[in-house]
A and B are shown apart, each in its own frame.
Chain A
Amino acid sequence: MFTSKKSRRVLVLATAVVGSLVASILPASAENAAPKGDLVLVRNQDFATFNPDLAQNDSIFPQQQIYEPLYMISQDGKTVSPWLAKSSSQAADKLTWTIKLRTDIKFSDGTPMTSADVKFSLDLATKGDGWGFLNTAIDTITTPDAATVVIKTKTPWAPLLSDLACFSNSILPNNFGGKTAEAFYKAPIGTGPFKLDHWTPGTELKMVANTNYWQPGKPYLNSVTWKYVVDDNTRALMLASGQADINEFPPATSVPQIKKTAGLMVKAFPAAASEFIAMNELSTPALADVHVRRALSYAFDRRAVIKVVLGGLGTPSNSILAPNVGFYDAKSPGVQYDLKAAAAELAKSKFAKGLKLEYLATSGSVEDNAMSSILQASLKKIGVTLTIKTQEPKVKRATQKAMNYQLTSTGWTMDISDPDELLTFALDPENGGTHAFYTNYNNPAVVAAVRAGQSNADPVARQKSYSFAQKTVADEAMMIFAYNAPYIYSWSSKVTGFEVTPTLSYHMEDVKKG
């Protein structure tokens, strides 16, 4: 049929074009199916900033969809694994870490990620006023080549990889991609699965799929929108009506109802979070007495609070660490509810004839109302009069920081897998910078154990140090370890692949809708 040379050339050319098209399309369709589905997540916190150094829970989780760190926390919250990094090794001097980077990573604008970006980001994070404290051990960062970063620490520093997995150590383009910091944070670029579409403060934050994402075929979704909806009922109704796909933190008491609703899913994800009642040891001589503190801790009916506040979805704390934190010791004794033991401890103290104490509670807080009134009722039975004073949240916080309280509720959510973040903050008054979680607790043996845990790379030795610290502070009731509450999320059954880590981050690149 094709007799002329011209016709044959056309046929060959057409075949080549079609062939190359098919060749290029087939693998792509197998690995990189076009993202589809627009997901809406409703939450009661308004997004605040794209600056990782100033991010709190309101901003961390959305930020993590744009920026990524070198290491990623595991689903159980206890370890980390390479993410933008390929591998790492620690030199014999225990101070030098060599980190090899993946070479297939691109920022969402198509620019390849190199060691220069990593050095810039980590140096920036170390200088940060917000989360820079996590990097205080870092001495120097050098870049022998485009795919290698060498970090030298001032002292041997076991939590380094965990610290690098924190969102605050996310990798940004070198020198903000040539922009000013202010301009960059208004139009951020990252290596994450999504990129910014628009942000309307007080309303919503929308991200769209990053087509340069390094994980083949991901993200599955076309877009994710975080909507700020304060009212619990409204969020629930939005989910029920299909206006939202995921509801962050529905009240625990609503879980049974959600479970009965067709088309909705609900899950209580284990959290690396703990609720405490702090006792200011210098506020009154009674709280400096370990027997009084133990009596108060024994008198606190944790299960009653869990029932009232969480509808039973929680566990009494036995340690300063939550069960989903690395080096948590399940055998930590942790004083538990026992009124007889409470009376016996009080009898051993100098305040056996009774005493008066004041509990500073957060106004309008269901949790604090339950905790304070349940403790008040128990203490009355052993001759301790507890008066409850309430303050607006920010005023209460200021009062706590000024150390003008006796007992008050407080809490903690881990940001890294390593216990060092909390233990230094809460137990090392000198390095933590907060009078040991505003309690004035100070036990040199515990401080030494926390510091030993930081510097020793051997996991067995670290466990020994941290178990000692956990047991000692539980025995001495440095705080009342109250309970561990899960993170509750509900979502449409059309959504799959949604998981939350104990440090409260989620991988939206794994989520599908429809």
Chain B
Amino acid sequence: MNFLFYAGKRFLQVLPALFGISVVVFLLVHAIPGDPADVILGQRATDERVKAIHHLLGIDRPLLIQYFSFLGHLFQGSLGVSFYNNTAVSSLIAGRLSATLFLMFGGIILALLISLPLAILAASKEGAIRDQVVRVVPIIGLGMPQVWIGIELILLFGLKIHLFPVSGFGDTFLQHLRSTFLPSLSIAIGLSPILIRSLRAAMLEILEADFVLTAKAKGIGRTRVMLSHVVRNAVIASVTVLGVNIAYLVGSTVIVERVFAIPATGSLMIDAISQRDYPIVQGVTIFFALVVVTVNLLADLIHAALDPRVAL
């Protein structure tokens, strides 16, 4: 009963947050100077034609009416229709979500595959040459622009070796994997330096921990201590770092999408902003806000289910 009350309370707390987000997004989008009718009509837009297009799009109505119309559609599960290509925003998002997920998860997985061995290599002998090299070299990756990394990878693996496609997302699961390998690698190269540093620092700290000293005293092998005790604990600490860098990851994804011509949600948003396509900007923002709020709500509810003290 307590859990149900807590779940209901948390759900009710979410509603004002969503309402607030919808108001802020709507106002921000409409506050940006620039007219969607100009994008549709181009240079030949006279005042008369602009008025006609405003009427067609419904943006000649008072802002409050437009907001309630937007809210009404939201309650019916509709994120609206694009001004620019007359397509439902929900289907535009759905069509690009898989590319976004491939890029984000691909980037994280490759970043971990790069970072873990290097961090282990560095932490296993603090101050040695290999430690110095691992500490310095990835910093170069951090300093290289994503656009440049992407183009270099395309030149090498796409044009010279012909191992991966130059651009695009492909049509099948395997093609998606192949098409998103290079872009994910560009994201990973940018993300790895931060992960290596945090992993290395965590490992060095854990290496000094009592339980590690005990394990060593018990005669457990160096490799086993490293993998079973140090790495496992260091990865947990680094997950927090990864979480904090999610914003960076999303930002990187947008740039990489452009370079590799991958149709994901980042470029959808960027195009919509430049085209003043209000329904898409609102729709994508609301969608991601909903995802974040829902994930947080679920996490709280799972936490409460696992630890009944939380619901008290």
Contact = CB atoms under 8 A, between A and B. Distances in A.
Interface of A: 46-49, 54, 56-57, 129-131, 133, 182, 185, 200-203, 227-231, 233-234, 237-238, 240-241, 243, 392-395, 397-399, 401, 410-412, 425, 432-434
Contacts of A395: 33-34
Contacts of A238: 166-167, 261
30 contacts: A46-B271, A47-B85, A48-B85, A56-B39, A56-B42, A57-B42, A129-B49, A129-B56, A130-B40, A131-B44, A133-B44, A133-B49, A201-B92, A202-B268, A202-B271, A203-B263, A228-B261, A231-B258, A231-B261, A233-B147, A234-B151, A234-B166, A237-B154, A237-B159, A394-B35, A394-B38, A395-B34, A397-B38, A401-B38, A433-B47
Nearest to B56: A129
B261 A230 contact: yes
Interface in B262-312: 263, 267-268, 271, 274, 276
Nearest to A132: B49
The 4 closest A-B pairs by CB, nearest first: A394-B34, A433-B46, A129-B52, A229-B261
B260 interface: yes
B155 interface: yes
B8 interface: no
A260 B115 CA distance: 41
A390 to B, nearest CB: 14
Nearest to B275: A394
B292 to A, nearest CB: 23
A398 B92 CA distance: 28
Contacts of B268: 202
Given A227-B261, A237-B167, A130 B49 contact: yes
A273 to B, nearest CB: 11
Contact of B166 (A46, A48, A237, A392): A237
Contacts of B82: 201
B53 interface: yes
Nearest to A243: B166
B59 to A, nearest CB: 14
Contacts of B158: 237, 241
B141 interface: no
Given A237-B166, A425-B44, A202 B96 contact: yes
Contacts of B147: 231, 233
Contact of A56 (B40, B166, B276): B40
A235 to B, nearest CB: 8
A340 B155 CA distance: 50
Interface in B79-97: 82, 84-87, 92, 95-96
A131 B43 CA distance: 11
A243 B47 CA distance: 43
Contacts of A411: 43
Interface string B49-60: 100110010000
A440 B165 CA distance: 52
Q: Which secondary structure dominates where chain A touches chain B?
A: mixed
Contacts of B53: 129-130
A411 B42 CA distance: 11
B52 A234 contact: no
Given A133-B44, A241-B158, A243-B165, A398 B35 contact: yes
A462 B263 CA distance: 50
Nearest to A47: B85
Q: Which of A48, A230, A395 is the most central at the interface, judged by chain B CB atoms within 10 Å of its CB?
A: A48
Contact of A185 (B34, B86, B92, B259): B86
B208 interface: no
Given A49-B86, A230-B267, A395-B34, A202 B40 contact: no
Contacts of A56: 39-42
B210 interface: no
A243 B39 CA distance: 30
Contact of A200 (B44, B95, B151): B95
Contacts of A202: 92, 95-96, 263, 267-268, 271
B162 to A, nearest CB: 8
A398 B46 contact: no
Given A233-B151, A433-B49, 20 more contacts: A54-B40, A57-B42, A130-B49, A133-B46, A200-B95, A202-B95, A203-B169, A227-B168, A228-B261, A230-B258, A230-B261, A231-B147, A234-B151, A234-B166, A234-B260, A238-B167, A240-B159, A394-B34, A397-B38, A398-B38
Contacts of A57: 42
A231 B259 contact: yes
Contacts of A185: 86
Contacts of A182: 86
Contacts of A203: 95, 169, 263
B47 A200 contact: no
Nearest to A239: B166
A48 to B, nearest CB: 5
Nearest to A411: B43
A306 B169 CA distance: 37
B214 to A, nearest CB: 55
B154 A200 contact: no
Contacts of B274: 393-394
Contact of A241 (B33, B92, B95, B159): B159
B152 to A, nearest CB: 11
Interface string B151-189: 100110011001001111100000000000000000000
Contacts of A432: 46
Nearest to A437: B43
A200 B87 CA distance: 10
Nearest to B159: A241
Q: Which of A49, A228, A229 is the most central at the interface, judged by chain B CB atoms within 10 Å of its CB?
A: A229
A203 to B, nearest CB: 4
A417 to B, nearest CB: 17
B182 to A, nearest CB: 11
Nearest to A186: B86
Interface in B11-57: 33-35, 38-49, 52-53, 56
Contacts of A397: 34-35, 38
A434 B46 contact: yes
B56 A243 contact: no
